[in-house]
């Protein structure tokens, strides 16, 4: 079977890359554009939609930020709709955004430095919203001598191009998801352009926009 390449862009210098090549491309770009800084150390971490692997990002994460800071960044970039709970799973431990001590002592909060958790090659999961859940997986790709440019210590350094989603009716780029079709298993028919949506027979208020996120079409997520 042909491997999908999942194209995207390296945001350090704006050049094309793919999910698979991103790690090496980003390292080359950072070395060329910024030069190595032996006093700085950051994790290079790739996140993707667990069930929607075409959505991927790579973050440069300062060595000692907290899981909470990464959770905020993921919400900002990809996930936030109505302030749902979220959770990381790492080495079988769960770290919740709002831990409730009454549910046993397995759940730690997210005020934990990644310095004590991450190592190169580590993989884990992130879940946003225990109702209409969006599942992400992540992998620590590398540990590098560069500092993130963002003040919160987390910089988005690569992202997938929006997948080419077409109107099921006319083949133009799709802008709208009909949620009635989407949740009634007719997901083939759910993606529509503005024009065809006006002719579409379902409830016209039951829609969400097509957005570049693994949370597309879930809860009230509008990007
Ligand atoms: Zn929501
Ligand atoms: Zn159309
Ligand atoms: Zn419909």
User: Domain check: are 115 and 203 in the same one?
Assistant: no
- Give 177 Cα–ligand 3 centroid separation in angstroms: 8
- Give 188 Cα–ligand 3 centroid separation in angstroms: 10
Structural domain for 65, as ranges: 7-160
Domain membership flag for residue 222 = no
| Average pLDDT score over the chain | 93
pLDDT grade for 1, boundaries at 50, 70 and 90: very low
Sign of torsion over alpha carbons 108, 125, 61, 145: positive
Domain membership flag for residue 214 = no
- Give 176 Cα–ligand 3 centroid separation in angstroms: 10
Q: State the pLDDT at residue 3.
A: 59
The domain tally of the chain equals 2
Domain membership flag for residue 165 = no
Domain membership flag for residue 2 = no
pTM for this model (two decimals): 0.93
Q: What is the CATH number of the domain that holds 77?
A: 3.10.290.30
- Residue range 121-136: mean pLDDT, rounded: 97
**134 alpha carbon, closest ligand:** 1
Model confidence pLDDT, tens digit, residues 149-184: 998 999 999 999 999 999 999 999 999 999 999 988
User: Domain check: are 75 and 45 in the same one?
Assistant: yes
- Give 76 Cα–ligand 1 centroid separation in angstroms: 13
Domain membership flag for residue 215 = no
C-alpha of 216 from chain center = 11
Q: State the pLDDT at residue 188.
A: 81
Strands 207-209, 176-178: pairing kind: antiparallel
- Residue range 39-43: mean pLDDT, rounded: 95
């Amino acid at each position: 079977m042909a491997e999908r390449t999942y194209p995207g862009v390296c945001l350090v210098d704006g050049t094309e890359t793919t999910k698979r090549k991103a790690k090496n491309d980003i390292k080359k770009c950072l070395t060329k554009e910024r030069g190595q800084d032996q006093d700085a150390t950051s994790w290079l971490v790739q996140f993707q939609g667990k069930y929607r692997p075409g959505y991927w990002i790579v973050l440069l994460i300062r060595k000692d930020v907290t899981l909470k800071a990464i959770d905020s960044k993921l919400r900002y970039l990809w996930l936030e709709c109505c302030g749902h709970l979220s959770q990381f799973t790492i080495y079988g431990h769960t770290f919740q955004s709002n831990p409730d001590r009454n549910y046993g002592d397995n759940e730690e909060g997210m005020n934990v430095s990644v310095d004590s958790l991450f190592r190169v090659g580590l993989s884990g999961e992130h879940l946003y919203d225990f109702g209409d859940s969006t599942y992400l997986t992540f992998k620590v790709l590398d540990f590098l001598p560069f500092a993130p440019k963002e003040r919160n210590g987390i910089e988005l350094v690569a992202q997938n191009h929006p997948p080419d989603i077409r109107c099921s009716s006319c083949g133009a780029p799709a802008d709208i998801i009909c949620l009635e079709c989407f949740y009634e298993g007719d997901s083939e028919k759910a993606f529509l352009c503005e024009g065809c949506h006006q002719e579409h027979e379902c409830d016209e208020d039951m829609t969400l926009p097509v957005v570049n996120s693994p949370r597309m079409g879930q809860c009230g997520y509008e990007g």
